[in-house]
Amino acid sequence: NQGALWGGRFASGPAAAMAALSKSTHFDWVLAPYDVRASQAHARVLKKAGLLSDTDFSTMISGLEQLAADVVNGDFVPADDDEDVHGALERGLIERVGADVGGRLRAGRSRNDQVATLFRMWLRDAVRRISVQLLDLVDALSEQAAAHPTAVMPGKTHLQAAQPVLLAHHLLAHVHPLLRDVERLRDFDKRAAVSPYGAGALAGSSLGLDPEAIAADLGFDSSSDNSIDATSSRDFAAEAAFVFAMIGVDLSRMAEEVIIWSTPEFAYVTLADEWSTGSSIMPQKKNPDVSELTRGKSGRLIGNLTGLLATLKAQPLAYNRDLQEDKEPVFDSVAQLELVLPAIVGLVSTLTFHEDRMAELAPAGFTLATDVAEWLVRQGVPFRVAHEAAGECVRVAERRNVGLDELTDEELAQIDVNLTPDVRDVLTVEGSIASRDSRGGTSGARVSEQRVRINELSAELRSW
């Protein structure tokens, strides 16, 4: 096999089971376009170092161009006995330009520095795609918030009625973690933008090649300071896998709420038909499968992160073949997010919110009790006393099976002399929400200034 990258010291080829274990073309083929690009950059430094004649160089570059085109159109694919993408592409080059020219490309490089570089290149592109999709979701949530500027809902803690909030405030609460995830991806990219190319197997090259030139050629900020670190570390991959898992967790929190909200018991939202599924037996069913799959995928994304960390743990320096296990979990996390994100954008942007239902439930469960206590504090009552008095209001209202606003003036005065009828000003959901006007609070003015900031940040992050 022309694609075999070693063999001289072996009397026989690998056993079938050895080759099967070793093989990675079924997953590392996605690196092929990056491998060809990096090979062209490598050819340029070989020529610069005087190791490739002008004619050999142009033969090699056009051969690599042909190979890249053949990879794209499917005319060149891995053969059964190709061990990995790197070997397969060397075979492809030799098939196109002959062994004399094709066989010169590998000087001064190893699959160890190659694969570490290509993986970084692939990931840097992937995080840019994921960032755009995350920002699409940010915009979908922000548009829903803008479409419901005054809608109220019961805010919850412990999934129990807590205090009324604006729906827009709640929706935007899901935006902030997503924006931080985009920032995390951007931050990851700073560390990923260091090129291992030129590190060779682990010790660098004796051939006068220029790693900085290759790094710049391939869009990296710099080349690695240490050839051992360059070929052996995968913290960049683990960092990306963490952000992908974090995105999964953030999406799952939102997905869980959509699931709850779409139950008849809550009935806050109706899902669009095209973003729901039916049941094979129960004709009435309309299931929130986008949300459930999102919730489910988050487990898989966490698994990919922990699996990768387990692979990396306690590996001695430098390259070990264990590292071939680094790619599948990360490729999978990207593939899963690229399935989930467009669907959840579709789901969110087509949700119908039932404002009346949410408004009806907003004061239920005595969610205005804190407003009574804080109103008393504004009248000069110590909070401890105010909390007790508001609690007693709840007790009386609960016994009579009425809302706090239905307590009589006499009942209020009996609970605390300071509870004059003026307290009724804060005993409405709208009054309560409007009063929470501290920075970051749920008042309408605060929420609209928040949305402006979100839109600015989202636009800024899109320009990456």
Tokens of 258: 């959509």
Contact 381, 420 (CB under 8 A): no
111 binds ligand ARG (CB under 6 A): yes
Contacts with ligand ARG: how many residues (CB under 6 A)? 9
Q: Which is nearer to ligand ARG, 242 or 319 (CB)?
A: 319
Smallest separation, CB 46 to ligand ARG (Å): 20
CA gyration radius, the chain = 31
What span, in angstroms and rounded, lies between the C-alpha atoms of 422 and 87? Answer: 82
Choose, by CB under 6 A, the member of 39, 59, 112, 432 that binds ligand ARG. 112
Minimum distance between the CB of residue 326 and ligand ARG, rounded to whole angstroms?
7
Give the shortest CB-68-to-ligand ARG separation in angstroms: 20
Cα 13 from Cα 22, distance rounded (Å): 13
Quote the least distance from Cβ 325 to ligand ARG, whole Å: 8
The three-state secondary structure class of 4 is: coil
Between residues 88 and 246, which has the closer beta carbon with respect to ligand ARG?
88
Distance CA 128, CA 115 (A): 20
Binding mask 78-97 for ligand ARG (x = CB under 6 A): ------x-------------
Give 144 or 232: the residue with its C-beta nearer to ligand ARG: 232
Angstrom distance (rounded) from CA 446 to CA 451: 9
Nearest-5° Cα angle at 259, 253 to 263: 145
Q: Residue 48: how many CB atoms within 10 A of its CB? A: 14
Residues 6+ apart with CB under 8 A from 298: 245, 248, 249, 251, 252
Residue 113 sits in the site that holds ligand ARG (CB under 6 A): no
Would you call 161 helix, strand, or coil by DSSP? Answer: strand
Give the separation between CA 167 and CA 183, rounded to whole angstroms.
25
Site string for ligand ARG, 2-41 (x = CB under 6 A): ----------------------x---x-------------
Say if CB 305 and CB 337 are below 8 A apart: no
Tell me which residue of 249, 259, 119 sits closest to 196, measured CA to CA. Answer: 119
Q: Which is nearer to ligand ARG, 309 or 396 (CB)?
A: 309
Contact segment (CB under 6 A) with ligand ARG among 141-149, 252-260, 316-324, 428-436 equals 316-324
Task: Verify whether residue 174 is a known catalytic residue.
Answer: no
372: tokens are 């009574």
Q: Smallest Cα–Cα separation from 218: which of 33, 21, 3, 47?
A: 33
C-beta of 5 vs 343, nearer to ligand ARG: 5
**Token duo for residue 251:** 């999406």
Which of residues 88 and 153 has its CB atom nearest to ligand ARG in the complex? 88
- Choice from 262, 324, 336, 370 touching ligand ARG (CB under 6 A): 324
Minimal distance in Å, beta carbon 15 to ligand ARG?
16
Q: 12, 26, 158, 206: which is the annotated catalytic residue?
A: 158
Of 22, 53, 62, 279, the active-site residue reads 279
Which of 370, 254, 251 is closest to 301 using CA atoms?
251
Give residues 271-290 in contact with ligand ARG (rule: CB under 6 A): none
Nearest residue (CB) to ligand ARG, 84 versus 250 = 84
Catalytic-residue membership of 279: yes
- Ramachandran angles phi, psi of 146, nearest 5°: -65, -30
| List 236, 319, 331, 353, residue binding ligand ARG (CB under 6 A) | 319
Q: Return the residue matching tokens 């985009």.
A: 182
Among 323, 347, 361, 447, binds ligand ARG (CB under 6 A): 323
Binding residues for ligand ARG (CB under 6 A): 24, 28, 84, 111-112, 115, 319, 323-324
Catalytic residue positions, numbered = 158, 279
